[in-house]
Each structure stands twice: as structure tokens, then as C-alpha cells.
Amino acid sequence: MRQEVHRKPTPGSVADRPAAPYLRGMTNASDIALTPAAAARVAAIAERQGKPAILRLSVEGGGCSGFQYRFGLAEGIDDDDIRVDTDGATLVVDSISLDLVRGCSVDFVDSLGGTAFRVENPNAASGCGCGTSFAV
């Protein structure tokens, strides 16, 4: 697996703020990963839709556990995004969501229960059965 991490520093960005207590010790974007299975799925979806192979992961309030993951293909990369490239696909995370997903791995699973992108989040204190909602 070939993975590259890119970060454009911006004044006042998340990188300039102290880490939340549950994130101390995690200080760089390499703590976020896109697995080869997820990269392959992003590339396949993007090719079908004629879009760049850029998967945006963001976190919103809501869901049954307090926060929920949102996935979508992105048209581009913002200046304050964390960017991780794996096997020709890119995972981007906005600076606001970064504190909640640092240390995560984004995978794609294809099982009898269905197919989905899954986030393995070491920061989550709990989650729900659907796999898209979590609490810290």
C-alpha cells in the first residue's frame, strides 16, 4: 500500500490549536488512513460518475450516538483539508472534523450484511449498530 500525506498549514487551523484531551499524542495527518480496499472502491465510483477519486470524510452532529460520519465524492481539495493519498485515491478531511477522526482508518467492507465505507475510530467511546454514528 502506498500512502502519502499532504498538509497545507494555515494560520488558525486545527494544527495551531492544542489537541483535545482524548487526542493528545496524535499530532499529524499520518494518523488518518485510507485502506487499499477503500481506495479501490473510491476509484471505481469516481470513474463511473466521471469525478476525481477524492473521498471526503466529515463529521456532523446528530445520529443516534451524537456524531455521524458523512462521505461523499469531492470535486476538489480545500486549503485547510488534510489529504491522504492511497493507491491513486485521495481521502480528505476538513479541519473542523479532524479532531474527531484523527487516528481513524477508513475501510470498505463487502459482506453479507451489505457494502459500506467503515470508519475504525479509536477516539469513539461508543457507536451504534449502523456504523455511521459515534460518541466521544
CATH of 29-135, one of 3.30.70.270, 3.40.190.10, 3.30.930.10, 2.60.300.12: 2.60.300.12
pTM: 0.70
Distance CA 5, CA 55 (A): 14
Q: Where are the domains of the chain?
A: 29-135
Q: Residue 87: its pLDDT value, please?
A: 94
Segment 81-109, tens digit of pLDDT? 889 999 999 999 998 888 888 888 999 98
Condensed to tens digits (0 to 9), the pLDDT of residues 29-60 reads 457 899 999 999 999 999 999 999 999 998 88
Query: Mean pLDDT throughout 22-35?
Result: 58
Q: Is pLDDT of 134 > 60?
A: no
